[in-house]
Amino acid sequence: MPAWNLKVPRVEAYISHLRDTFTRMRPIRRLALYAVIAGALAALLVTCDRYRFEARNRTVEITMDQQDLSDFAQAYGYNLDELMREMRRAGLTSVAVYEEQGQRVNETQHALALTGQQIIDNARLSALGDPLLSSMVRLRRIDAASMYLLVYDAPTLRRYVSVLRTQLEPSTVSVVRARLPAIVQVRTQLDFFNGLGLGIPQDIADQVRRDGLLVDPRVQNNERMGPDRIAATFDQMLQGGRVSTVIFWGPSNAVLGYPFNLDASADNFRAHKTLMFGDVESYAEDQIQKGSITLARKIVNQTVRVQAISKVELDKLDLDVVIARYLLGVRERNIRVIYLRPFPHVVQRTLPDGTTVTESAEATNLDMLRRLRDGLEQNGFHTGHAYGFENFGHGTSIRSDLELDLLYFIVAVGVAGAFVLLLDLYGAAQSWMPWTFFAVTTVCFWVLVPFQRDYIVRQLWALGGALTFALLSGTTITSYFADPRWRPQRALALDLRDGCMCLLRAAGVAVLGGLSVAGLLSQATFMIEVQQFIGIKLLLVAPPLVLLALYTFSPLFGAAQRPKDVADSALRVWQFVAVLLAAGAAVLLLMRSGNQPDVGVSGFETHLRGFLTTLVGARPRFKEFLLGFPALVILPSLSPAQRRTWGWFIIVVAGIALADVLDTFSHIHTPLLITFVRVFNGLVFGVILALIVWAIGAGVRALQRKREHGPAA
C-alpha cells in the first residue's frame, strides 16, 4: 500500500506535465498532434483487423508439377501411383495437371495425330491399315493441309471434339467416323495445332484423385475465345471435382481471357467459390503473366500467391536452400502455394553411428516434402487446400465498407497532421495550413471512394506519411546537437540508458509512421501484392539527404549555417572523399533496392541472411542494426566536439535506418507479426553492436592512457 501511494503522485505529476505541455503549445501544433493521435488510433484498428485476417489464413498447399513428376518416375523406374501415395503421406497435397497440348498427342496411348500430307505419303509407301482412311486417300478426300486424329477411346474423343470446338471455330472440327477408333478432321496447320490446349486429361486427373490428392489445373490462354468458350473451358477442367488452384501457363504467358475477356474468367471463378487463382510470384516485368494483376484485383479473395523455382535454377541449388527459400516465402511473403518439381540430385544422410548413406532419388524427394511440412508446422501453418485472404470491405470484412473507409480517411488526416507538425517544428507552418491540408485530404479521398479508386489517395498519402515520419523521427535527436547534455567520465550505465532512450524515441516515431502506412494500405490487394506501396527508392534516399540539409541549415540542430557560407567554405580532402563515398553508397542503395535489384546479393551475404533468419526468425535489416541504430545509441555519449565532427555521418546513417523502418512497414505482403519482430530484432542487434563499439573504444582509450602515463607504480 505505501508503494502504491508513492507511485500515484508520480503518475499524476506526469499527467499534469503532459496537460501543461499541451496547454502551452501553439494552437496549430496542438491541432496537428490531435490529428496524428486520431490517425494512429484508426491505423491501429485497421492493422488489428489485418492481423486477424492473417491469423485465419494459415493453410499452405504443396503441389508437384505433373509432367516433371511423370518424367521423374519413368526415368527412375518408379510406379507413379505408389510414388504419389508416398508423397501424399510425406506432405504433398496436390498435383499440377497440365492441359494436353497438340504436340503431345502422339506421346499418349489414346490417340494418333497426323497431317493429311503424312497420311497421303504413307499411302504411297504401303497400304493403309484403316479401310476408311485408305478409301479417303483413293477418292482424294484427304485434305493435305488438315490435321487428322485417330482416337482410341470414347472419353478422349469427347474431350477432343469439345475442346477443339472451343479453341477453334466449330465448323473446322468434324467427326469423320464416330465408331472407335474414331477419326476427327481439324482444318488447321500443324504448327498451330501443336500449340493448342486440348483440355485436362481426365485419366491423369482421376489418377491423382484416386491417390488422395487435389488437382491443380494448368490451362493456357487462347485470346480468340469468348465468354461461352471460357465457361466451357472451366467446365472441362472442373470435371471430377477435387480441384484446388488454377495456375495458368502457355507460350503467351497470359491468364485465361486475356486481353478481352478477363471479366468472363473472373465470373467463372466467382461461380466456384472454392476454386482459387494461382498468381505466380515474379518480380521481372517480362515474366509476370499478362492479365494476372487485373484478374487478381477482380477476384481478390480467390487469389493465392504461388512460389516456384525453375528447373534451370533448381539444378544449381542445395536441398537446404530450396527448403529454406520456400519456407521464407510462406512466412514472409504470404505465399500459399508451394510449387515443387522433383529435386534432381540425391543427398547424403548421416546415420546415428556417424556413417553416411546416399539416399535414393525417391527418398530424397520424400525427405524434401517431410521437411517442408514439418517446417510449415513449426511456423504455425498446416498443409491443405489453399484459400485467398479475406478481402477488406465489400461485405466480407469484419467492418462495413463505410466503417473501413472512415478509418482509412482518419489515418490520411493523421498523415496530413504529421506534415503540419513537421513544418511547425522547423518554423515553416502557417495558420491556414492545417485546414487546407485537411480539406484537400477530405476532397481527394471522398471523391474517389464511390468509384473504388480511393486506393490512389491512400498510396500517395502513404508515401507522404512515410517521408514525413522519417523526417520526424530524425528530428527527435535535434536536442543532442542544440543542447548537448554531456559530462566527461560518465558511467557506462548512464550512457547506455541515454543511448537507448535516444534510439527508442527515434524508432518509436518511425514505427508510428509505419503504422500509418500499414493503416492506409492494409487491404487484401496489397497483402497479395497486386497493388504495392509506391516510391520505395524515394523513401530510402530522400530522408537522409533532407535530414542532412536540415542539420546544416536549420537552427533546430544548434549551429545553423547560411548556404552562402557553406558554398564559400574551403573543401578539405577528407570531406571530398566523404562526399564521394556517400554518393557511391547512395547509388548502391538505390541499385540494391527493390525485389529485382540491379546489384545482386553476394554469396556471403546470402549465407549471413540465412543464418540470421534461422537464429532470430525474422532477419533484421543490415542498414538498421549495422549503421543507424548503433549510431543513435552512441550519440548521447559523444562529446560536443565529437558530435560536431561526426554529426553529419550520424544524421545520414540514422536517416537511412529510420527510413528503412518505414520501408519495412510498407511491405504489406509481409505479415504484421514478422514486421514487428524484424524491427525489434534490429533494435536489439543495434544496441549489442553499440556495446561492442563502446568496449573497443574503452579498450583503445585505456591503452592510450597507459602509454601516456606509463605503468602504475
Predicted confidence (pLDDT) per residue in 127-152, tens digit = 888 899 999 999 989 999 999 999 99
Of 288-302, 415-429, 608-622, 673-687, the least confident:
608-622
Residues in the chain: 713
What is the Cα–Cα distance from 329 to 75, expressed in whole angstroms? 30
Band of the pLDDT at 3, cuts 50, 70, 90?
A: very low
Residue 381 banded pLDDT, cuts 50, 70, 90: very high
> What residue ranges define each of the domains in the chain, with the CATH number in brackets?
25-55+394-704 (no CATH), 59-99+202-383 (3.20.20.70), 102-194 (no CATH)
Q: Angle at CA 562, nearest 5°, toward 559 and 563?
A: 130
Which pLDDT value is given to residue 124? 87
DSSP state of 605: H
Please answer whether residues 301 and 332 qualify as being in contact, where contact means their C-beta atoms are separated by less than 8 angstroms: no
- Residue 325: burial class (beta carbons within 10 Å; 0-12, 13-18, 19+): middle
Cross-strand partners of 60 = 383
Higher pLDDT pick, 13 / 613: 613
pLDDT-based confidence at residue 637 (cuts at 50, 70, 90): confident
DSSP label at 608? H
pLDDT digit string, tens, across residues 555-565: 888 776 666 65
Query: Helix, strand, or coil here: 245?
Result: strand
Residue-level pLDDT at 713:
43
CA distances from 145 to 189, 192, 311 (A): 6, 12, 36
- Yes or no: say if 159 and 165 are a contact pair by the CB < 8 Å rule: no
Check pLDDT > 80 for residue 612: no
Radius of gyration of the chain (CA): 33
Q: Which residue has the higher pLDDT, 350 or 193?
A: 193
Q: Report the mean per-residue pLDDT for the chain.
A: 87
Q: How far is CA 169 from CA 162, 258, 261, in A?
A: 11, 19, 17
Mean pLDDT of 496-511: 93
As a whole number of angstroms, the distance between CA 172 and CA 550 comes to 73
pLDDT > 50? residue 2: no
Could you report the per-residue pLDDT of 337-347, keeping only the tens digit for each? 999 999 998 88
Confidence grade of residue 60 (pLDDT, cut at 50, 70, 90)? very high
Write down the pLDDT at residue 65. 95
